[in-house]
Structure 1
Amino acid sequence: MAPLSADLDAVIEKAWQLTLRTDGFLGENEARFLGMLAACVPARGTIVEIGSFKGKSTVMLASVAAHYGLGPVVAIDPHTSPSTTDPGIAAGSSTFEEFLASVKAAGLTEHVEIHRAYSREIAKGWNRPIRLLWIDGDHTFRGAKEDFDLFTPHLAKQGVVALHDALNAFEGPIRVFVEEILRSDRFGAAGVVQSTAWGQLRPEDGKDFRELRIRIERRARRMLPFVANGRRVQGITKMAYKLARSRVQRAPVSASEWLALVSRSGAK
């Protein structure tokens, strides 16, 4: 297991304070977890963010990446509206200027490679290895699956893909997590923190983590019928959905615990 940087806690705390000042929909536990992934994923390559909105996750990722010299964070977002994940944005408006302002206010402009475009457009010419793929764009199944399919072929071995809002009543993130990560031996360790689901690419020994993924899959799959075909979760159905969601372990995980998990040759 690779040693943790002695200043990791301080670096993430500083990044969180910058993130806290930025508008967006990212909880503290998952923001800190995202920063930890940026610092600790044991693979070489680029950090790619699909779906930047006003820059909250961008600031967390770029702050950590800048400190450790990990290169600029690639931020991909057309910044168009309307969107089911951005209900407060009026049709025809854009979040691009607010995004730029957030990155500038955090002093991170030179640490973010900005692409104001749809992810499928950037994917056409993409040829760089990815160490951390953060998917927080189109939350429909079609959109989330497209992002996953277009960019995971570039994910480096032992790299991590993370999907936001997997436990927030959107079909795309949770279905991709269950069907493409938890049910695939291409991936090793996996889990959920708050509403962020993640999996580590381990094509050579992913089967050794199968029992771990099956345990998570048995609980996570119970949420799929509630959000199938973009169904809205409301009324008594919402109560049942919340009960199913409560059975998915999603507590914060420390950097040392996470590294111990992914460093094992298998999980029992």
Structure 2
Amino acid sequence: MLFEIAASNAYMSDNEKFLLSLCAASLPQGSVVVEIGAFLGGSAHIMLLASAGRIVLHSVDIEDKIPNDLRSHRNFTFHLGTGAAVASREALEVDMLFVDGDHSFRGIREDILAFWPQLRDGALVVAHDVLNMQHLGVRIFVETLLGNGNLTKPVHADTMVAARVDKRVALPAASDYVRTARKLSQVFGRPRSWIAEGVAPAVLLSKAYVDMPPPAEDLFLVGKGKRGDFVHRFLGLDYHAPIDSWEARRTDARYYVCSAFFPRIFTHLVWDVRVAPENIFDVTPQVISRWMLQDILNNKAKRLLNAYQVECERELVSGLLNLLSESEVYRMYENGFLCDLFLYLTASFPPQATI
């Protein structure tokens, strides 16, 4: 069994696989487990294997990629939809909730709070990527539940955290999440100064600093990932959605590249699309951080707040900005955490539609 668990196609480390399997193996006969974020069924396979048939597993995802052998398991039920949608139509008494779905503050908040009334007192909550710095929204939410006493006796393996539910404690207020975010801003940051260091050698094709552009019809963002999506909302570019480099057509346009693959994209735009090199800009995390700093200090963070379209995220960002002093904002800028924090609150994947 140990080797089969390690060989599972779940997207997690071996240590995380073993922690998840131990949590499932600890459950008594007839326990109900809910998993949010099934993907290819790797984590579901781990839990069913480790529990030796003692659990009933409800797996939730917005896409159905479950293999047939898992789908036919007598203790497995797949639900197509978001966590909130499934919780609203299924009356369950849940002994363990495993959350590995939407990796944003909004996403994990909606998933856990949707199932919170159905969790038994003392139930297990297991969350993946809590200690992953690229998913700070997940960390802020889970750390707040731990600090508030809603989750107790935590154990962790790599980025995964497991804890027990205490239903006697009232759920956190918005101000509690703000305090957690501020604590993280005071503790974490990259161990270097972007101001002193400048750009890395790999991106010397680009300018060390890129001015924040006003909206214009000839401006295109290249990069459909998290960085491109955030910059699109931050700059208020309503007329052009972010594009992939192969979609670039206009030789006279300006292209702001929001991708770690800037050298490759630069080469494609210059040689294949025939864009002038001076019209291609590298929107690095350093650049975004400088734009954020300017917006916070000179524009009352209007662009930053407009980048968050979900109420709970806007509330968190607004509350945090009201607490931070100017010196704290500068320190976050210098160590890189300003960009990390505000960029990684938002979803890692496109927003989920309720099914």
Contact 1:78 1:116 (C-alpha < 8 Å) held by counterparts? yes
Counterpart secondary structure, 1:110 = coil
Q: 1:118 & 1:170 partners in 2: Cα distance?
A: 19
Contact 1:191 1:199 (C-alpha < 8 Å) held by counterparts? yes
Counterparts in 2 of 1:76 and 1:186: CA distance versus 1, 3 Å: same
Q: 1:1-268 alignment to 2 at 5 Å?
A: 14=1, 16-41=2-27, 45-65=31-51, 67-70=52-55, 72-79=56-63, 96-97=64-65, 99-101=66-68, 103=70, 109-168=73-132, 169-179=134-144, 181-204=145-168, 221=184, 237=336
Counterparts in 2 of 1:173 and 1:47: CA distance versus 1, 3 Å: same
Counterparts in 2 of 1:43 and 1:157: CA distance versus 1, 3 Å: farther
Cα deviations across residues 49-81 of structure 1 (Å, max 9, x unaligned)?
Answer: 00011111111111123x1522x21110122xx
Counterparts in 2 of 1:39 and 1:22: CA distance versus 1, 3 Å: closer
What amino acid is aligned across from residue 70 of structure 2 in structure 1? V
What amino acid is aligned across from residue 60 of structure 2 in structure 1? I
Gaps of 5+ in 1: 1-13, 80-95, 207-216, 242-268
2:305 maps to none
Cα deviations across residues 61-108 of structure 1 (Å, max 9, x unaligned)?
Answer: 11123x1522x21110122xxxxxxxxxxxxxxxx34x314636xxx7
Q: 1:58 & 1:43 partners in 2: Cα distance?
A: 17
Larger Rg over CA atoms: 2
Gaps of 5+ in 2: 170-179, 190-225, 231-283, 287-334, 341-355
Instruction: Report how far residue 237 of structure 1 moved.
Output: 3.6
Contact 2:8 2:46 (C-alpha < 8 Å) held by counterparts? no
Deviates more, 1:185-194 or 1:122-131: 185-194
Contact 1:45 1:128 (C-alpha < 8 Å) held by counterparts? no
Q: 1:46 & 1:191 partners in 2: Cα distance?
A: 21
Instruction: Report how far residue 43 of structure 1 moved.
Output: 10
What amino acid is aligned across from residue 77 of structure 1 in structure 2? D
Cα deviations across residues 86-145 of structure 1 (Å, max 9, x unaligned)?
Answer: xxxxxxxxxx34x314636xxx72231111222222111222111110000000111110
| TM-score, with length taken from structure 1 | 0.60
What amino acid is aligned across from residue 74 of structure 1 in structure 2? H
Counterparts in 2 of 1:148 and 1:23: CA distance versus 1, 3 Å: same
Contact 1:163 1:198 (C-alpha < 8 Å) held by counterparts? yes
Instruction: Report how far residue 224 of structure 1 moved.
Output: 8.6
Counterpart secondary structure, 2:96 = strand
What amino acid is aligned across from residue 76 of structure 1 in structure 2? V
Contact 2:84 2:115 (C-alpha < 8 Å) held by counterparts? no
Counterparts in 2 of 1:101 and 1:224: CA distance versus 1, 3 Å: farther
Instruction: Report how far residue 202 of structure 1 moved.
Output: 2.5
Q: 1:224 & 1:46 partners in 2: Cα distance?
A: 38
Counterparts in 2 of 1:44 and 1:149: CA distance versus 1, 3 Å: farther
What amino acid is aligned across from residue 116 of structure 2 in structure 1? T
Counterparts in 2 of 1:190 and 1:43: CA distance versus 1, 3 Å: farther
Q: 2:73 & 2:30 partners in 1: Cα distance?
A: 22
Contact 2:5 2:18 (C-alpha < 8 Å) held by counterparts? no
Q: Percent identity?
A: 20
What amino acid is aligned across from residue 115 of structure 1 in structure 2? H
What amino acid is aligned across from residue 103 of structure 1 in structure 2? L
Contact 1:191 1:197 (C-alpha < 8 Å) held by counterparts? yes
Counterpart secondary structure, 1:109 = coil
Deviates more, 1:141-150 or 1:43-52: 43-52
Q: 2:68 & 2:28 partners in 1: Cα distance?
A: 32
